[in-house]
Amino acid sequence: MNRIAGFVATMLLASPVLAFDGWHQISATVIPSGTSSWDYIEFDPGTKHLFIGHRKEGLQVYDPATKTVIKTIAGSPACSANGATLMAEFDLAIVNCEDGNIIPFKLSTLDASAPIKLGTGIDTSHYDPVTKRILVNMDPNKDDTTDAIVLEAPSLKQLGSVHVPSGKMEGAAPDGQGHMFVAARDVGKTFKIDMRSLKLVAEYVVPGCEGTTGLAIDTANARVFLGCRTNPAGTSKPAFGVFDANSGKPIYLAEIGGGNDGVAYDAELKRIFLTNGVGAVLNVFEQISPDSYRPVETLGTRAAVKVVAMDHAAKLLYSMTAEGSADASKKINLSVSPFYANTFTPNTFTILVYGR
């Protein structure tokens, strides 16, 4: 090896840009469960509780310290809990119910109030701390559009709605300026909603990043991170996409595992995490600068590990899964996979923790 080649090889080996983080599964805790499916997960840094939308088994409150479910929010099994939206500044949270109700409860005591009916069905909702308003992903209209309801916090009074040209509103995050960025899976776009005027003010596309589902934002640098599945024709690959929140300019695109639902960003680590339930992998990317990204590693997880919540102080990632089968005699969600599980084995529901 000549002197120049040896120097280059040494620099490549020593460079922190090429460092391997070593993310791995720290624990897997099985909790008592029936056959219900699940959706969103949230972590509350104040109480250090996990809130798990376990649908017909309700909104389960999990304590990572004791590795137990300490409570199921009252009324949430009957409403089929899809997840929770947390508003710690008001000691308030709401259960997002598949039957179109929300159930308010206190984060400190976990005591619930009476359900509030908003419509025929709810997927999830998103809180904007700047405007103190909540955007609710309602069931779509017959023409595959959605009238997303906007609530005031903490009163939960309805302020109006925003008409969105999508029947599959998915992940969303506030930009710190009074806007909400929302992924729309069926149209492969990201919508920018003004939470003050209740108007859709912009729409963005990252070419090659279609089936937009998971979403997170780097508010300091105005960068939007997308987890994308494929387009309806199946001609695009699952992808991680980045664009400028101010201009909409696409910045980065890379392939990820199939079936993304979750995206998390940690500003201290400069890491973006994407959970992909069909591919059963956790993709980790580094933000070198606002306009430069690279893959760090891809961790093998388990089938149906599709969503993620992060304890940013402890640098831990949380998700869940269960042993599942695609029962051909029942309806299968073909938009995700022809083999997507629709039946789950009792007492296999597992809370997973990942770290370094």
The pTM assigned to this predicted structure is 0.93
HSE value, Cβ hemisphere, 13 Å, CA-based, for 30: 9
CA dihedral 28, 31, 35, 36 (to 10 degrees): -90
| pLDDT one-digit tens code per residue, 97-122 | 999 999 999 999 999 999 999 999 99
Q: Is the pLDDT of residue 11 over 50?
A: no
* C-alpha distances in Å from residue 96, one per residue of 75, 223, 345: 11, 27, 25
Q: Is the pLDDT of residue 145 over 80?
A: yes
DSSP-assigned states of every residue in 109-158: T--B---EE-SS-EEEEEEETTTTEEEEEEPPPTTS-EEEEEEETTT--E
Q: Which residues pair with 39 in a beta bridge?
A: none
The CATH architecture one would assign to domain 37-117 is: Beta Barrel (2.40)
User: Letter for the amino acid at 191?
Assistant: F
* C-alpha distances in Å from residue 98, one per residue of 12, 122, 144, 182, 230: 51, 5, 18, 19, 25
Q: Given this model, what pLDDT does residue 245 score?
A: 98
Higher local confidence (pLDDT), 319 or 335: 319
Question: Could you give phi then psi for residue 89, rounded to 5 degrees?
Answer: -65, -20
| pLDDT one-digit tens code per residue, 213-236 | 999 999 999 999 999 998 767 778
Is the CB of residue 126 less than 8 Å from the CB of residue 133?
no
What pLDDT band is residue 19 in, cutting at 50, 70 and 90?
low
Dist CA 124 CA 97 (whole Å): 8
Is the CB of residue 141 less than 8 Å from the CB of residue 167?
yes
If phi > 0 it is left, if psi is from -120 to 50 it is alpha, else beta; for residue 115 that is: beta
